[in-house]
A = this chain, B = another copy of it.
Amino acid sequence: MKYGASMFTAQPIGFIRSPYRETSAIPKGLRAKHDAEGAIELLREFEPGLKDIEGFSHLYVLWEFDRSDGFDLIAHPPTDEKRPHGVFATRSPRRPNPIGLTVVELLAREGATLRVRGVDMLDGTPVLDIKPYLSSIPEEKLKRGWLAEAEKSRD
């Protein structure tokens, strides 16, 4: 087991174009729909890395919570305000490593730009990585802990 690994400094490979200019505009809470269209504008130097990406319907986008500062180990998500949860059991932006993860649907590629559906990032968010979405856990096998309880208690 190795401790004290040498860690990397994140670098943007591009930026998100999104209709959301401020956090309050992003749909949040139970069953919030994320079907907003936007784009991933890759920096020109990374464009060759997109070869053959058109064949995938869905992508993972890793990005930086660049307008969040610091972290809390206990989070108060908007979906369950009265009950705090550990940050790793939530999608809170205030994380030890401020990395966000979003699954988007790929609509089209135009050179270094990917037009996508499902953005929940702020406009101008730095993108760290894009990966193909290859398989899903079947919904019937998923347990969703406090979030499922919060949904049930509001139904």
Contact = CB atoms under 8 A, between A and B. Distances in A.
A108 interface: no
A42 B143 CA distance: 22
How many identical subunits does the complex contain? 2
Contacts of A73: 46, 48-49
Interface string A100-137: 01010000000000000000000110101111111111
A1 B124 contact: yes
A54 interface: yes
A78 to B, nearest CB: 14
A71 B49 CA distance: 10
B130 A50 contact: no
A134 B144 CA distance: 6
A129 B99 contact: yes
A129 B97 contact: yes
A142 interface: yes
A147 B6 CA distance: 33
A138 B74 CA distance: 32
Pick the most buried of A1, A5, A90: most chain B CB atoms within 10 A of its CB: A5
